[in-house]
Amino acid sequence: MRKPQVVPDEDHEVMYERVAAVDVAKASGVVCLRTPDPARPGRFVNRIWDNVPATRAQIAGLGRELLRCQVQMVTLESTSDYWRIWYYVLETAGLAVQLVSPSQAKNLKGRPKTDKLDAMWLARLTQQGMLRPSFVPPAAIRRVRDFTRARQDLVAERTRCLQRLEKLLEDAMIKITSVAADGMKAKSVVAMVAALAAGERDPRTLADLAKGPLRAKRDALAEALDGMFDSHHGVIARMLLGQVAFLEQQITRMEDQAIAALAEVPGSWGVDASGQTGPGCGVTPGSPVLAAAHRLAEIPGISVWLAIVIIAEIGLNMAAFPTPAHLVSWMGLCRSAAQSGTRHGKGKPKKGNSYARAAAGQAAIGAARTATFLGERYARIARRRGKAIAQAAVARSIMIIVWHLLADPAARYRDLGPDFYASRINRDKKIRNHLRGLQALGVTVTITDDEQAA
């Protein structure tokens, strides 16, 4: 008989004596405190607070009581965004708090379901170390995340305004977006629409506002601008252009705020060649330790801003993800395991963190256009399995690299080169494969010793 495999407990599989759990709702929560029973050694007693208001003062008072009872761990079930006030206030009170997915804390089938019983069940699972906590970044990273997510929402809103503006032009028989490759994102197009809204109707005059590559298409632009743009179209166009301009200002503001918030996190600082560290240090290639965002920006497909977005989602401390595989799984870039005996099924896709997954996908698309190892990896997989699978595969590779760069601040990205795969092909094996193909076609080939050696 073979030796058994030794699998140590995971970090979260710790048994506690004094725990608490909160069944969270929008306006209140049911709290269960589970502690040893002094009258019955080896047994436990549950104390229930029913309908504790979800206000800062009430939760702070609860935190003081839990501290007095020497609670070792507080568990919250992830319910919409209602868990946030409980987590943040209890964390500030000095308690150890963990957030768990509802799938981790499901009650046993056949048992009655009430808020009180749910809280008691959460407390019991917490005590036995049977819950795997979800990742919640520290407060400093959460501030950066708020700004990056706010910017993403503003970008989505700007896109909607531009789409409404394009529909308005179609209604006015203006086909300018059919000529401009960048559509409504081009500054020349926005300038032409602004001139239309201001009362200019001459197509040739409007076409002369084109800048850059669009100037070569002025004849096509003049023809596309010959429509039926009326005064009421101008009123709506001015309103939409004003919204777009305002949103662009707010997007820039959120970017500046996110950069400033990350600069306040010591873990993001680099070290200059002079040995100085702090905000703004380690941003040049010659620095011995690059700042975290600039370290990630060396990866093909990742800009400094995209690096900030990734850091805002996954944090700087990779101890939260024991291995790169844990990070990839948490982001939803791999399927769940489905193995039984010798059968390996195709597991279900994971939801994961949609913001981090979108950033990794964007980086993969950028890397696919480069003559690098990641670009060649994308091309190889896309030829065999399609672009979607290639993008996911390269996104996984990028996040594995990100994990290593954040786990070791002194590490630097080194590209393996687009010829990495080709240089590792067995030349003799490839020659034999080609020979078999030629022989199948009835061609006789003679190889000299020099060619064989080559």
What DSSP element (H or E) covers 48? Answer: strand 44-53
Q: What residues contact 369, with CB distance under 8 A and at least 6 apart?
A: 375
| pLDDT score at 452 | 46
Report the percentage of the chain scoring pLDDT > 70. 94
Place of tokens 């944090």: 315
| pLDDT score at 110 | 64
The stretch 355-378 carries a mean pLDDT of 93
Give 216: exposed, middle or buried? Use CB within 10 Å, 0-12, 13-18, 19+: exposed
| pLDDT score at 291 | 92
Q: Would the pLDDT of 399 be above 50?
A: yes
Can you tell me the distance from the alpha carbon of 78 to that of 398, in angstroms, rounded to the nearest whole number?
A: 29
Say if pTM beats, i.e. exceeds, 0.85: no
Contacts for 224-228: CB closer than 8 Å, 24+ residues apart: 224/174, 224/175, 224/176, 224/178, 224/179, 225/174, 225/176, 225/192, 225/196, 227/169, 227/172, 227/173, 227/174, 227/175, 228/172, 228/173
231: how many CB neighbours lie within 10 A of its CB? 8
| pLDDT score at 366 | 94
| pLDDT score at 306 | 95
Q: Would the pLDDT of 105 be above 60?
A: yes
User: pLDDT class for 367, splitting at 50, 70, 90?
Assistant: very high
- Each residue's pLDDT tens digit, 25-67: 888 899 999 998 888 888 888 889 888 899 999 999 999 999 9
| pLDDT score at 453 | 43
| pLDDT score at 287 | 86
Q: Would the pLDDT of 336 be above 80?
A: no
In this structure, of 112-116, 292-296, 327-331, the range with the lowest mean pLDDT score is: 112-116
| pLDDT score at 449 | 61
Residue 387 is encoded by which pair of tokens? 């672009």
User: pLDDT class for 78, splitting at 50, 70, 90?
Assistant: confident
Whether the Cβ atoms of residue 291 and residue 281 lie closer than 8 Å to each other:
yes
- Each residue's pLDDT tens digit, 139-176: 999 999 999 999 999 999 999 999 999 899 888 888 88
Between 109 and 439, the more confident residue is 439
In this structure, of 12-16, 97-101, 272-276, 371-375, the range with the lowest mean pLDDT score is: 12-16
- Each residue's pLDDT tens digit, 418-446: 888 877 777 777 788 888 888 888 888 87
User: pLDDT class for 352, splitting at 50, 70, 90?
Assistant: confident
Query: Beta strand pairing status for 277-278 and 339-340?
Result: unpaired
Can you tell me the distance from the alpha carbon of 294 to that of 396, in angstroms, rounded to the nearest whole number?
A: 20
| pLDDT score at 345 | 67
- Looking at residue 23, its amino acid is D
- Each residue's pLDDT tens digit, 195-249: 888 888 888 888 888 888 888 888 888 888 888 888 888 899 899 999 999 999 9
The stretch 339-351 carries a mean pLDDT of 70
Q: What is the three-class DSSP state of 238?
A: helix
The stretch 330-359 carries a mean pLDDT of 78
Residue 261 is encoded by which pair of tokens? 């918030």
Between 108 and 362, the more confident residue is 362
Mean pLDDT of the residues in the chain: 86
Place of tokens 């032409």: 192
User: pLDDT class for 451, splitting at 50, 70, 90?
Assistant: very low
